[in-house]
Chains A and B, each alone.
Chain A
Amino acid sequence: MSAPFFSQYGSEIATLTVEHLWLTGAAILFATVLAVPAGIWLTRSPRWAKPVIGIANVLQTIPSLAMFGFLLPLPWLGDRAARIAIVALTAYALLPILRNTYAGIRGIDPTLIEVAQAIGLTNRQRLFMIELPLAASFIFAGLRTATVTCIGIATIAAAVGAGGLGELIFRGVASVDNRLVLAGAVPAALLALIADSALGLLERRFRVSPPESIRQ
């Protein structure tokens, strides 16, 4: 790609990258706000775990283009393409975060949960002092999967006019201009890689040292 290409498209690439980040960021934020509390609630009412995780699973299997299409005719949502994109991306991000929050907390050694109760921690203290910190690396792993998936799927949001780096890809495909396709695809891939390693760092940072074991 030449210098004239960048002087022509540089600022657009930058704008679309910011747009891409905003769509993905908003979706991840919404998904986290929904899925982490939902995951915690499921650990308290495990009989709901199967159906709720099942629904999130089904959402995940809807092809992304179809998902954007389904949301298009809905009132309020259909008025602004970005809304559709954020709702669809949120739906895709729910499952990994929900599943990992649930599995992360359920996977804690039951002895520790029991001790937390027996020494007189309140339910709230148990959640914030013991369960969430011990499940944190799991939850970040879910967040990582969700983010990387969303950055990829967000490129398709351009199909409904929501913007983002998919814009360049679709335009490149339509005009058979590989430079434009790459101008959209490479930054999207870089975003995914950066998000993956940054969240990977967080995941490792919160990983708890080998479980306590009395047997040597």
Chain B
Amino acid sequence: MSAALQFRDVTVAVASGRQLLQHVSLAIEHGTVAAILGRSGSGKTTLLRTANRMVVPTSGVVEIAGASEIDLVGLRRRIGYVIQEAGLFPHFTVERNVGIILEAEGRPKAQRSNRTREVLQLVGLDPASFAHRYPHQLSGGQRQRVGLARALAAEPPILLMDEPFGALDPLTRSEMQDMLRALLHRVEITVLFVTHNLDEALYLADQIALLNEGKLIIDMPRDEFLSSTKPEIVAYVRAFRRAEDGVNRKAHPA
């Protein structure tokens, strides 16, 4: 059986000739949660966006469950998409935001409404008190939950998340990570998410990919990653911890 999501020799170059991704090959099996780690500018988001064709590879292919050529709209509706700022439509209520893909597919209102309530509960929001609110009436964490509910509403086999919790305060972030982890145990879905937070990746993912300057330098199961002595991993982990210590020192000067 082919992987749920497979990148084959994907290269993305911009007009100036600079390569954002260089010959990246990566397979994510069904039901796996994969994290893409890397510094800013390493090509994490670009790689994620080739999966739903928001970025078209200059060369190479991205296969979704074995198929690479399907209609764009249909393909995107089968891939949940969550971004850092949630990207909720400000003129829609929570209910309409969550049900928008079902609405676009022309599903009947009653069905949309039922499914919306179901997914809102799944992300820990009470439909009775949230369905009719507007995005500006929600906190950052609640907006992100709604964004996740929207991505799951059409029961996509694949979920893409781009720094989903990057803009949240540490407490909310950790709550959201717990919620997502519990949710991923209940929903059968393949997840690819971008983060620059090592701990988040280790907490949520089964598979870790590390990008550096557009090249995939590591792709391994989480447990292997933890115990690995590969110099690239050791260097990344050390750099990450040092940066984290720096932040802590600034927050709690001795």
Contacts and interface: CB of A to CB of B under 8 A. Distances in A.
Interface of A: 111-112, 114-122, 125, 129-130, 133-134, 208-212, 214-216
Contacts of A214: 84-86, 140, 143, 167-168
A209 B136 CA distance: 7
B172 to A, nearest CB: 11
B240 interface: no
Contacts of A118: 52, 54, 76, 81
Contacts of B88: 212
**Closest 6 CB pairs between A and B?**
A120-B76, A120-B77, A115-B87, A209-B136, A214-B167, A118-B81
B76 A112 contact: no
B104 A121 contact: yes
A114 B89 CA distance: 11
A130 B104 CA distance: 12
Contacts of A209: 90-91, 134-136
B135 A212 contact: yes
Nearest to B138: A212
Interface in B157-181: 167-168
A56 B87 CA distance: 35
Nearest to B167: A214
A211 B89 CA distance: 9
A134 B104 contact: no
B54 A129 contact: no
Contacts of B140: 214, 216
B17 interface: no
B74 interface: yes
A125 B104 CA distance: 7
Given A119-B77, A214-B140, A114 B87 contact: yes
Interface of B: 52, 54, 72-78, 81, 83-91, 100-101, 103-104, 134-136, 140, 143, 150-151, 167-168
Given A111-B83, A214-B140, A119 B90 contact: no
Given A209-B91, A212-B86, 20 more contacts: A111-B83, A111-B85, A115-B81, A119-B100, A119-B104, A120-B78, A120-B101, A120-B104, A121-B100, A122-B73, A125-B104, A129-B100, A129-B104, A134-B89, A211-B136, A212-B85, A212-B135, A214-B86, A214-B167, A216-B140
A211 B90 CA distance: 7
B23 to A, nearest CB: 25
B199 to A, nearest CB: 21
A111 B143 CA distance: 15
Contacts of A112: 87, 89-90
B90 A115 contact: no
30 contacts: A111-B87, A114-B87, A115-B83, A115-B87, A115-B89, A116-B89, A118-B52, A118-B76, A119-B76, A119-B100, A119-B104, A119-B150, A120-B72, A120-B75, A120-B76, A120-B78, A121-B100, A121-B104, A125-B104, A130-B89, A134-B90, A134-B91, A209-B90, A209-B134, A209-B135, A210-B136, A211-B136, A212-B135, A215-B167, A216-B140
Contacts of B75: 120
Contacts of B86: 212, 214
Nearest to B144: A214
A210 to B, nearest CB: 5
Contact of B90 (A121, A125, A208, A215): A208
